[in-house]
Chain A
């Protein structure tokens, strides 16, 4: 059983007008096997939380801590965090020209595991995951994210998550821009990873529809850089009915 604990996290981001406070004291604890939905209106700091945990250099943590099984994550470099078991499925993954998906996946797997995967199993694993995510085999020879549709990018992120087998995955609006079929395929991928590896999921989303497929154990409503309300799955249903207005009015 692993645990990821975020305590009193304050984060600023560099803007042309100077540093801007985005997170104002976030507290959250997640155990492996659990799914926590983080919901909130645009601009509430959901993505900032995702990037701060993963260690994007644009975000500066001014106070607070993030611990993975007691180890301070904030002292680790981005790659160390990944090797420690954290994964971020990005909302806007970048293109890497001249690097094929298959080369990228194998290099990442080697980096995470500290050794190259046994070729025969690896090829089979990749094929199986690609099949399950309805990704065409020709995809493996394409350059990373180059010319991918929005849906292809998201499926590619989930493919990486399945193959790299992290302890905790943060899904940053993985559902946005997906049609119903793609949403279901991606959700099934998340559920498989939960089932197979006891993955803990921090599911960041604006909408409730992905929660029909990926059932959250806890729901945190994010407003103005901190958690405004917490509850079980029923909270999501209330949000579905009432929207975020109630919280915005309060804030």
Chain B
């Protein structure tokens, strides 16, 4: 959602893709995270959005006047802004039917045992406590509905001054950092969904890494929606101070319902001088979630920002992680991978804005469409005046698994400086008869052969993922490919 509507031409609006009952049932077979807990917390939650809803969220969180005013201002902007007229079809979103805030527990747990049984079981099934036990992660945040219900950080990191907590707590304990940074990378009025998030945000992660500190093992956040028609609006703020480094990983799942939920997050990242941030997402929402997320980072001199963005689930995703290269020699990189299956539209890409000399950016996007799904790459590379000696390279490859799926590429380039190097390459390929024949003639069944081709296609990005996510991605590809061949 980072590209402003007016900068995007040729955008196409597709027909509605409401899931039929059979499709929902079919998708249950393929989606392994589609269960839901008894809906004790969300059942009675209020639907619809109003100033009262916003005031109530702010009051429940005991927020200062400053934040409440920010929220109310953003609500006004949300109401004023039209729905985007480009990108995916969003006409199925019924803002009056969404539950904007669901509190599931009064107190955040620091031990899994302290969580309500249902919620604990959910995270067990998702394997989160196990990953923590095996020390695959240096800190864990688990958000369930609107708030973070579990939080833990490695003691060593805490001693080094690393802050990793939910954003609500962050706001209470570090108001000075919030007043300095919150909403500076993505202002409330940036786009309609950023405005919505700013008005009703709840949960998310707040990370601060002090100068020179390297967080060697990833920090992990896991987002789970349980209630039908839930709106999840987490807000994440990451500040990597000078010369520091951190890798943040997030995963997302939700139950399968017949009507839609909305996930609209805002992620702001500040990469200071010579700092390094990698932000990895494996989004696997169920096929009834609208996933409309604004992610952006600013990078100072010599800093480096990497987005690794995997979009596998959701009904509709619009997400274009952005990097604003503000200091000399700043670098930005996006590795994006999208799977669009039956009834899905993944409208994803990246935005790179070169604002200083000798900055460099790279976007590598791989998409796979099958079963009538649609995968669109939408990217913008902008080189502003004064950003001389900058370099950018864009590579987007699309793979069509059958003849009923669709792939589009919308690369936008806006260069206002002479001395720049720009590269752009785009390919659309089909799984060829000859490739399938070759693998099948070596004994592999058609599904297995197809999965091998698709896995190979995404391998350059899969190898950048943490091991357990790469394995998960492989498993998801196999599930996606089942039933993709007739």
Chain A residues proximal to chain B, CB less than 8 Å: 54-58, 77-79, 81-83, 87-88, 90, 93-94, 96-99, 104, 107-108, 111-112, 143, 160, 164
Residues in A with CB closer than 8 Å to B434 are 94
Counting CB contacts under 8 A, is B460 at the interface? yes
CB of A108, distance to nearest CB on chain B (Å) = 4
List 12 A-B pairs, Cβ < 8 Å: A55-B437, A78-B441, A82-B441, A90-B441, A98-B460, A99-B455, A99-B456, A104-B452, A107-B448, A108-B442, A112-B442, A164-B442
CA distance A58 to B434 in the complex (A): 9
Nearest chain A residue, comparing its CB with the CB of B397: A97
Min CB distance A116 to B, Å, is 13
Q: Tell whether A112 pairs with B443 under 8 Å between CB atoms, given A56-B437, A94-B435.
A: yes
- Known interface pairs A94-B435, A97-B459, A108-B443; 4 further A-B residue pairs with C-beta atoms within 8 A, sorted by A's residue number: A54-B441, A96-B452, A99-B455, A108-B444
Contacting pair B459 A98 (CB below 8 A): yes
Q: Which of A54, A79, A90, A111 has most B Cβ within 10 Å?
A: A79
Shortest CB-to-CB span from B452 to chain A, Å, is 6
CA distance A98 to B459 in the complex (A): 5
Asked whether, in the complex, the Cβ of B433 is within 8 Å of the Cβ of A99, the reply is: no
Kindly state the separation between the CA atoms of A32 and B92 in the bound complex, as whole angstroms.
64
Contacts of B441 in A (CB 8 A): 54-55, 78-79, 81-82, 87-88, 90
B453 located at the interface, meaning its Cβ lies under 8 Å from any Cβ of chain A in the complex: yes
* A58 vs B438: C-alpha distance when bound (angstroms): 13
Which residues from chain A contact B445 at a C-beta distance below 8 Å?
Answer: 79, 111
Please indicate the chain A residues that have their CB under 8 angstroms from the CB of B435 in the complex.
94, 96
A-B pairs with beta carbons under 8 A, tally: 77
Asked whether A97 and B443 contact (CB < 8 A) given A57-B437, A78-B437, the answer is: no
Q: Quick one: closest A residue to B399, CB to CB?
A: A97
Are A111's CB and B443's CB within 8 A? yes
Given A58-B433, A90-B438, A96-B435, also A79-B456 (CB < 8 A): no
Contact of A79 among B444, B459, B460 (CB under 8 A): B444
B446 within 8 A of A: yes
Closest to A92 in B: B434
User: What's the nearest-Cβ distance from chain A to residue B334, in Å?
Assistant: 19
| Interface 1/0 per residue, B443-486 and A, CB below 8 Å | 11110110011011111100000000000000000000000000
Chain B residues in the interface with A (C-beta under 8 A): 432-435, 437-446, 448-449, 452-453, 455-460
Contact across chains for B438 and A93 when beta carbons are under 8 A apart: yes
A94 to B452, CA, bound (A): 14
Q: Are B440 and A77 in contact (CB under 8 A)?
A: yes
- How distant is the Cα of A58 from the Cα of B436 in the complex, in angstroms? 12
User: How near does chain B come to A100, taking the closest CB pair, in angstroms?
Assistant: 9
CB neighbours of A82 from chain B (8 A): 440-443
Q: Which residue of A lies closest to B459 (CB)?
A: A98
- Least distance between B366 CB and chain A CB atoms (Å): 10
Tell me the bound Cα distance from A104 to B456 in angstroms: 10
Contact between chains at A160 and B442 (CB < 8 Å): yes
B310: min CB distance to chain A, Å? 16
Contacts of A87 in B (CB 8 A): 441
B438–A111 CB distance below 8 A: no
B455 to chain A: which residues have CB within 8 Å?
A: 98-99
B432→A94 contact, CB < 8 A:
yes
Contacts of A94 in B (CB 8 A): 432, 434-435, 438
Q: With A94-B435, A96-B435, A97-B457 given, is the CB distance from A77 to B443 under 8 Å?
A: no
Nearest Cβ on chain B to A15's Cβ, whole angstroms? 15
| Contact A99/B452 with A57-B437, A93-B438, A94-B435 known, Cβ cut-off 8 Å | yes
What are the 8 tightest A-B residue pairs by CB atom distance, in nearest-first order? A98-B456, A98-B459, A111-B443, A108-B442, A99-B456, A78-B440, A112-B443, A82-B443
In the complex the two chains form, what is the Cα distance from A82 to B438 in whole Å? 11
CA A88 – CA B443 in complex, angstroms?
11
The chain A residue sitting closest to B433, CB to CB, is A57
**A85–chain B nearest beta-carbon distance, Å:** 10
Chain A nearest Cβ from B470, distance in angstroms: 13
- Nearest chain-B residue to A97 (Cβ)? B456
CA distance A57 to B437 in the complex (A): 8
Alpha-carbon distance between A93 and B437 when the two chains are bound, in angstroms: 10
Residue in B435, B444, B457 with the greatest tally of chain A CB atoms within 10 Å: B444
Residue of A nearest to B461 (CB): A98
Chain B residue contacts of A56, Cβ below 8 A: 433, 437
Contact of A107 among B437, B446, B452 (CB under 8 A): B452
Tell me, rounded to whole Å, the shortest Cβ–Cβ distance linking B461 to chain A.
10
User: Which of A98, A107, A112 has a CB less than 8 Å from the CB of B457?
Assistant: A98
